[in-house]
Structure 1
Amino acid sequence: MATDVVCSEHALVGKRQGIEEHACCAGPGYASPLDAMAGPKEALIYVTCVYSGTGREKPDYLATVDVDPNSPTYSKVIHRLPVTHLGDELHHSGWNSCSSCYGDPSAVRRFLILPSLISGRIYVIDTKSNPKAPSLHKVVQPEDIVSKTGLAYPHTSHCLASGDILISCIGDKEGNAKGNGFLLLDSEFNVKGRWEKPGHSPLFGYDFWYQPRHKTMISSSWGAPAAFKGGFNLQHVADGLYGKHLFVYSWPDGELKQTLDLGNTGLLPLEIRFLHDPSKDTGFVGCALTSNMVRFFKNQDGSWSHEIAISVKPLKVQNWILPEMPGLITDFLISLDDRFLYFVNWLHGDVRQYNIEDPENPKLTGQVWVGGQIQKGSPILAEGEDGKTWQFDVPEVQGHKLRGGPQMIQLSLDGKRLYVTNSLFSAWDRQFYPQLVEEGSHMLQIDVDTEKGGLAINPKFFVDFGAEPDGPSLAHEMRYPGGDCTSDIWI
């Protein structure tokens, strides 16, 4: 789509939303990923926090955390916005507008979109009127979504240059994977319909990322909601209730062009990212159960291929539910300059940094343990080939023993600070880390060496979601008011 058309559409969007900006001003975000790296240092971060599934009859909420080290409330929750219903399970989030139309002065990054994974409800949050204390703007009810599209279990939200919002949905209202697809909301957050062409829905749904210069969108696959929402059962993998495919769509018209079968080395492909440089035709997806980071890339004939780029070996363990424990790669991201890739192993407990300047040959440059099943003091032991047992040494932070394992991560624009929360999904938290449900999440900040590589826990930062006024909560995804490397896409 031509830039002038995009921006003229955004101008109409701005007028409809009553947004007036001076013509000399740029639109939301940054002109390029490298420009974003030179943006202002983060001072606030929004965190989705969950009571759903914990036994506490409280609504989920959006927490505002102060991350300005010069502030008297540094490393504290300074505001909590509860949503309107119980049992939502807030999960991922996205913006109404981002760097995809930086050149349009009428577009404003104002509304944070909060899909509820279990209820199917979508909350629209105004973050611009008072960034420290966001307010509820609108609620899109699941009945409206189901009646118009048949979609349920919304997950990933991305803004489009047209002003629309695109949200992946993992199933239908009965929890079947076959009913999933992509929901379109218009600029006023009304249900517009499905994005993909009829008959072009994927087998499973989860995350997605689009790369307009290559006229491509690729989505990933978790599993059937009927299977995952009750906890993880390995038999469900054998029964075909979990995904192992990537789905390649033409962009922006929604035609399913190719299905990539990742096979048994690519089970549960979750988070997916293209490189930030919009001219690049390569990206990565983290396959949770088999703990492989898979690289996908475009062939000369326009088709797409894939290969394993990084593999985390399972550990032989004692006193666990299985004789071997996968790392369980549940989240990853790429720095804005496309130099480093970061991912977590939720079960093993480590955060890793890889240099991907040569995407075909990633090199491990940093690693730090911030929790996990095999930390010292746990009954679970790792066993080496020689039969000797061992555990990881996980430090305390401000006198707190670290709970759970690293789960969601967010990187500062300059790439020097990595924020980490530890809740995956309430049912899976309860299954694998019951202490996390009882005592609540925490949030850490890891200092990043972007010159030589390396990761180190910042001992001055610790947000304890176990000490919340309404009881311990589960902290998941994080967003900065000005955008970040997991929500902004450049055209």
Structure 2
Amino acid sequence: MRTTEHIHDSDGHGDPTLYRTPADAVAAPPEALAYVVGFDPTAQQADALFTVDTDPASPTYGRVKSHATLPDLGNELHHFGWNACSSALAHAGHHHAARRFLIAPGLRSSRLHVFDTVPDPAHPRLVKVIEAEELATKAGYSRPHTLHCGPDGVFLSCLGGADGADGPGGVALLDHESFDVLRSWETERGPQRLAYDVWWHLRQNVAVTSEWGTPSMIEDGVVPELLLNRQYGHSLHFWELETGRHLQQVDLGDEHQMVLELRPAHDPEATWGFTNTVINVEDLSASVWLWNREGEDFKVRKVITIPAEPAQPEDLPPALKPFGAVPPLITDIDLSVDDQWLYISAWGTGDLFQYDVSDPFHPRQTAAVRLGGIVGGGQPHPAEPDVPLTGGAQMVELSRDGRRVYLTNSLYAAWDEQFYPAGIDPWMIKLDADTSNGGLSVDSRFFPHGEDFLGLRVHQTRLQGGDASSDSYCYRR
């Protein structure tokens, strides 16, 4: 563990970015900054955390304000998150909770980098590095992926076992304030072996985890034999949150490969949420599923299917030529804080879909925008009509009030090369969302891209003051 300076939390009493209810979060002032991680797929250049101006009244709106470069190579920053979210208001382990630190795991290096956004949120500072050895020794895991502030610590999902071994993957706990690795979270693992995301229904003492694959299954790209033999993840797992005890496995069917993002309802009394599968090996479609508690058990049902699109083999990358079609490849979803709108990014076709999910059992599509894509490249950005949108709509983040949608275009280096072999130039796009009747429009003033990000590919976005995919709440009113 390397510490560049002493870490201490400021007194977070009354921190205005920790919201008692989802309605409070929706009503809070809009974000003025976005934080975006960028990585070098060749591992020759250091990865970085970028700060982007999201204040429309600012003279630097839509531009990168600063970047903080990592001191080491080969990390591949991917998902990252805040040290605290609104549910910290009810966590005994948080003595002075404040949404202050950003923790950025390296999916390839297994290191964790901690950035402090105080005193200058526009210029975060790297203050701590946790080495892979600490994660392996104390928790038995590697390849950290997703993190959320939880009741016993920061929950960190990991794809691999110690030192990059092929599992089982699981969840490591980090100390709320020092971010030291404490232990593995699971106490009775049951049948769970593959890992990806972790979230929860806090008031119901239930955690949920999903499945992608072990390090050898993902780090060199999609393995066709594993995909066609249906060996990637296809189940959800439900756990007792307080104890880490496995309660239930629900198999979505082994044709539905790669169960990824978990988006539980923000209403703390609700027991439903959405997840996505990347690809159906029988017809190349992708899907979104709803889980819901019925009695003591959880039921999971498919509620959205997005079909593959026919294409000429000469327009397809080698991996897809035999199929003559573009799979939508749903790689991210995001649920608005008011639980009314679901956004789905189809990285293969480049589409961002908006659905009205006020009735989560019967979603209704209300808008779609094509941004990039394997075939055709979609429409150029209105700010730069001569700049092709390489890659496709991928990571999606949503403001707390649901009116702004931020997108980036890279998935994971080895997978980028398979589906976009001509290369991916980084871009970040903002869309304005109609939260009354539905609708999406591209903001022509907001388009950091290319060398704005030093040529690094950009993945996940976090928003100052919290965002739709990283906050959970303890109170309904």
Instruction: Provide TM-score, normalisation by structure 1.
Output: 0.88
* Counterpart code for 1:38: A
Structure 1 vs Structure 2 CA RMSD = 1.9
Matches within 5 A, 1:467-478: 467-468=451-452, 471-478=454-461
Indicate the SS of the match to 1:289.
strand
Aligned position for 1:182: 171
Q: Say whether 1:362 aligns with 2:353.
A: no
After superposition, residues 111-130 of structure 1 pair within 5 angstroms as: 111-130=101-120
Residue of structure 2 aligned with 1:73, choices 56, 60, 68: 60
- State whether residues 166 and 183 of structure 1, in contact with CA within 8 Å, keep that contact through their aligned partners in structure 2: yes
Q: Is the 8 A contact 1:101 1:107 kept in 2?
A: yes
d(CA) in 2 for partners of 1:292, 1:331: 11
User: Which of these residues, 7, 10, 24, is aligned with residue 19 of structure 1?
Assistant: 10
Contact preservation (8 Å) 1:369, 1:394: no
Confirm or deny: 8 A CA contact 1:48 1:90 kept in the other structure: yes
Structure 1 residue 144 displacement after superposition: 1.3
Distance, in Å, in 2 between the alignment partners of 1:436 and 1:459 is 24
Go from structure 1 to structure 2 and tell me whether the alpha carbon gap of 1:169 and 1:70 turns closer, same or farther (over 3 Å shift): same
* 1:100 aligned partner: 87
What letter is aligned with 2:292? F
For the pair 1:398 / 2:381, whether they are aligned, the reply is no
1:329 counterpart residue number: 330
* Aligned residue in 2 for 1:389: none
Query: Structure 1 147/102 Cα, relative in aligned 2: closer, same or farther at 3 Å?
Result: closer
Q: Provide the residue aligned with 2:77 in structure 1.
A: 90
* Separation of aligned partners in 2, 1:425 and 1:333: 19
Q: By how many angstroms is 1:265 displaced?
A: 4.7
Deviation, structure 1 residue 326: 1.5
Shift of 1:56: 5.7
- Indicate if the aligned counterparts of 1:181 and 1:201 stay in contact, CA closer than 8 A: no
Percent sequence identity is 36
Q: 1:147 to 1:359 in 2, by over 3 A?
A: same
Name 2:308's counterpart in structure 1: 314
Q: Residue 409 of structure 1 corresponds to which residue in structure 2?
A: 396
> Is this contact kept in 2: 1:28–1:97, CA < 8 A?
no
1:104-154 Cα shifts (integer Å, max 9, x gaps): 883111111111111100111101221000001111110111122220000
Q: Tell me the distance in 2 between the aligned counterparts of 1:26 and 1:191.
A: 25
- Aligned partners of 2:18 and 2:85 also within 8 Å: yes
1:311 & 1:202 partners in 2: Cα distance?
A: 26
Q: Tell me if structure 2 keeps the 8 A contact 1:344–1:407.
A: yes
Give the 3-state SS of the residue equivalent to 2:31 in structure 1.
coil
Q: Name the residue aligned to 2:138.
A: 148
Q: Residues 125-274 of structure 1 correspond to what in structure 2 (within 5 A)? A: 125-162=115-152, 164-173=153-162, 175-187=164-176, 188-200=178-190, 202-239=192-229, 241-274=231-264
What is the CA distance between 1:241 and its match in structure 2? 4.0
The offset of 1:179, in angstroms, is 2.5
Say whether the 8 Å CA contact 1:111–1:125 is kept in structure 2.
yes
Distance in 1 between residues matched to 2:163 and 2:433, nearest whole Å: 44
**2:19 paired residue among 30, 41, 56:** 30
Is the Cα contact below 8 Å between 1:273 and 1:284 reproduced in 2?
yes
Code of the aligned partner of 1:182? V
Describe how 1:280-295 pairs up with structure 2 within 5 A: 280-290=270-280, 291-295=286-290
AA at the equivalent of 1:31: R
State the AA in 1 paired with 2:403. Answer: K
Confirm or deny that 1:487 pairs with 2:470. yes
Q: Is the 8 A contact 2:141 2:160 kept in 1?
A: yes
Instruction: Compute the displacement of 1:240 (Å).
Output: 5.0
Counterparts of residues 344-383 of structure 1 (less than 5 Å):
344-375=345-376
User: SS of the residue aligned with 1:348?
Assistant: coil
Query: Taking structure 1 as reference, are residues 126 and 201 closer, same or farther at Cα in structure 2, changes over 3 Å only?
Result: farther
The equivalent residue for 1:47 is 36
CA distance in 2, matches of 1:18, 1:261: 42
Q: After superposition, give the CA deviation of every residue in 1:171-217 in whole Å (9 maximum; x if it has no partner).
A: 12464443211101112111111011054472200011111122111
Asked if the contact 1:328–1:348 (Cα under 8 Å) also holds between the matched residues in 2, the reply is yes
* Structure 1 match to 2:283: none
Out of 297, 300, 309, the position equivalent to 1:303 is 297
**SS of 1:89 mapped into structure 2:** coil
For residues 230 and 396 of structure 2, the distance between their equivalents in structure 1, rounded to whole angstroms, comes to 29
Q: Distance in 2 between matches of 1:28 and 1:142?
A: 31
**C-alpha spacing 1:369/1:112, structure 2 compared with 1 (3 Å):** same
Counterparts of 2:423 and 2:58, CA distance in 1: 29
- Does the CA-based 8 Å contact 2:35-2:49 persist in structure 1? yes
What is the aligned partner in structure 1 of residue 45 from structure 2?
Answer: 58
| Structure 2: gaps of 5 or more residues | 1-6, 281-285
Cα shift at 1:38: 0.7
* TM-superposed deviation, 1:375: 2.0
SS at match of 1:485: coil
- Cα deviation digits, residues 73-111 of structure 1 (max 9, x gap): 111111110112100011111111110033788311111
Segments of 5+ residues of structure 1 without an aligned counterpart are 1-15, 377-391
SS of aligned partner of 1:178: coil
- In the TM superposition, residue 259 of structure 1 has moved relative to its aligned partner by 0.7
Q: How far 1:242 moved relative to its partner?
A: 1.1
* AA matched with 1:368: V
What code does the residue aligned with 2:154 have? I
